[in-house]
Amino acid sequence: MTSTTSADATTHPLQRRLGRLLLVIAFWLAVWQGAALAVGQELLLVTPGAVLLRLGELARTASFWGTIGYSFVRIVGGFLLAAVVGVLGAALASVSRIVDALTTPMVSAVRSTPVVSFIILVLIWADSSRLALIVSFLMVVPIIYSTVLEGIRNRDRSLLEVAAVFGVPLRRRLPAIDIPAVLPYFVAGCRIGIGLAWKSGVAAEVIGLPQGSIGERMYQAKIFLSTADLFAWTVVIIAISYGLERLVAWLLGRAQPRLLHGAPA
């Protein structure tokens, strides 16, 4: 009886959130449909139905999935590499004033530089097939670095002092104090970074035109005035970015109890 009640209590909030999400989606689809009908020119703005129809046509082709796979590997690879480098850099900066002094202006410069500048520079230095990986890496590193470093600096000082007084080893302090304090910042950085990685990565592909990429397909849609294709690929990018954001949050949420309770005795 208790387990059934608990399951119902968990299910109802999920149903409410899903219902709200569907209502929000329906509202914006209605706005999109109304705007498309008001414009009255599919060359400028297609209807949601036309985009969905074109998306279904593309999804039946092998090249569609190959294109997604090409960009997915490079953009997600850049994001993962940025996550590792950003965490390690923040950890080093938190224990070394020299590292902090050296990396802070560099991170600020990377964060302030327009993405198109990096795209052009990378095209000069490297092959276009690596463009999305490098650009997404450069765009995400400052986000992960800054958020993780902020989390490290906002740890509970009293707990750190107690750990120092009693000589708690690092392998036990990490899951007990450091990870709980830093993990929410890291999750927030990942959520921002995933969307930024896809926006910058696809922008790089549109300019560099690596063969077989989403950016190349979007550029072709622009050349051939295929607005339905352009919107269809945009929907794909949004769906992948949102799905990855939710997946990362879920994975980190599942991993958190193991990280917190995995300290050696």
DSSP string, 115-161: HHHHHHHHHHHS-GGGHHHHHHHHHHHHHHHHHHHHHHHTS-HHHHH
- Amino acid occupying residue 183: L
Query: Rounded to the nearest 5°, which phi and psi values hold at 196?
Result: -65, -35
Question: Hey, is 81 helix, strand or coil?
Answer: helix
Query: Rounded to the nearest 5°, which phi and psi values hold at 155?
Result: -65, 155
pLDDT value at position 67?
Answer: 97
- Give, in words, the CATH class of 61-261: mainly alpha
Cα 77 vs. chain centroid, distance in angstroms?
A: 11
Query: Mean of the pLDDT values across residues 42-67?
Result: 94
Cα 250 vs. chain centroid, distance in angstroms?
A: 13
Cα 149 vs. chain centroid, distance in angstroms?
A: 19
pLDDT value at position 26?
Answer: 93
Residue carrying the six token digits 């400028």: 44
Read off the pLDDT band of 9 (50, 70, 90). low
Cα–Cα nearest to 145, from 110, 113, 97 = 110
Q: What is the DSSP letter of 113?
A: S
Per-residue pLDDT reduced to its tens digit, 165-188: 888 888 888 888 888 889 999 999
Domain residue ranges in the chain: 61-261
pLDDT value at position 264?
Answer: 44
Q: How far apart are CA 168 and CA 158, in angstroms?
A: 14
CA pseudo-torsion sign 115, 198, 228, 37:
negative
Q: What pTM, to 2 d.p., does this model score?
A: 0.88
Residue 4 predicted with pLDDT over 60: no
pLDDT value at position 254?
Answer: 80
